[in-house]
Amino acid sequence: MLCTGFNVVGFNWIASPAATELESIVMDWMAKMMKLPSKFLFSGGQGGGGVLHGSTCEAVVCTLAAARDKALNKFGFDCITKLVVYASDQTHFTVQKASKIIGIPPCNFRSIPTSASSGYGLHADDVRQGMKVDIAQGFMPLYLCATVGTTAVGAVDPLLELGQVAREFGVWFHVDAAYAGSSAICPEFRSYFDGVELADSISMNPHKWFLTNMDCCCLWLRSPAELVDSLSTNPEILRNKATDEKEVVDYKDWQIALSRRFRAMKLWLVIRRYGVAGLMEHIRSDVGLAKHFEKLVRMDTRFEVVVPRRFSLVCFRLKTRFGATSDDDGLKTNRRLLDAVNSSGRAFMTHALIDGKFVIRFAIGTTLTEMCHVDATWKLIQDIATGLLL
């Protein structure tokens, strides 16, 4: 309400110094809470910094554009048809969409398979081999996206190993922690981010699991100058002394659009209202509720947990009456189960297809979810399952 009421359009610093300065402060606060390396902070003294975007898609488009322009300036504009983007088959489709937007041919997007043996995380050796093959065929590796907490199953890619591959081949290394990035404020989850120091950029969405309203995506860059070089515009009408003397941040050059809202206000309010301890308690409470639900699922032999839980997402399914786990009957049965739960109006879940299995996703992350809601939802699921298996 405050952001809308103030109606600040902080495209450059002089349009609203407060909007720019508060955003820079909040981005440093958030980075420190997540224990990100100092090179990603404005206050780190190494040229880094952060910006608030509306979504991960915007963040990926902008970093891809920066990586693309860096390559084109170095190797010539004719090489764009040779540039290749790498991600896993669990990476959010926004990376593939962003690649198309910035002009990478769809056939140059590499979706590298993952498996249950690695918890659906990306293998560094698979990436390395894929890049070697592409180079041998005359292609140019450009961009590698790793994920901490994939959308479908909450998988975690090994950042350290992937970062080393990125360094080896000179590609832009982006870490997408849209969902699970919030967990980094808790020491027990920080190991999932080992290797983030090798990243060129990292993004996370406070509007997913950090009690912040849409739209709010944090993007940090090791070298914001590369982003600004790609996205900046300096028409005469926007010229001013502060900008010309390069004393300030003009966030219009850090994003797709020129205009922008006062997003920093809502994240600032959340951090000031809850504090680090309160936000850590929120994350831990949700994970505890997910652990409880996972335990309930494992206690009922009619169900199975399909993917090991890492955060507050539980992926499970109902076994068929014949004990099958991957046939058409299992897919239809679980789809009917999900449809019945959602149609009840008492709970809402989504699904994913993993290795041909129809998997139901039970995700916890909202403000008011309590143990009683988890128990009631599980009772609802059991009752519906009983009817389906009769």
DSSP for residue 93: T
Return the pLDDT at 239.
86
For residue 215, say if its preceding peptide bond is cis, omega within 30 degrees of 0: yes
CATH class of 276-389: alpha beta
Q: How far apart are CA 17 and CA 10, in angstroms?
A: 8
Return the pLDDT at 180.
96
What is Dmax (Cα atoms) for the chain? Answer: 76
Q: How far apart are CA 342 and CA 365, in angstroms?
A: 18
Positions in the chain whose pLDDT score sits under 70: 321-329
Return the pLDDT at 71.
94
Q: Quick one: which of 354, 287, 356, 326 has its CA closest to 318? A: 326
Compute CA 19 distance to the chain's CA centroid, rounded to the nearest angstrom.
25
Q: Tokens 């995506």 belong to which residue?
A: 217
Q: How far apart are CA 387 and CA 67, in angstroms?
A: 54
CA count, 13 A, side-chain hemisphere, 136: 6
What are the boundaries of each domain within the chain?
A: 2-262, 276-389
What's the fold here for domain 2-262?
Answer: Aspartate Aminotransferase; domain 2 (3.40.640)
Return the pLDDT at 327.
55
Q: How far apart are CA 349 and CA 363, in angstroms?
A: 7
Q: Tokens 């959010």 belong to which residue?
A: 92
pTM (2 decimals)?
A: 0.93
* SS3 category, 135: helix
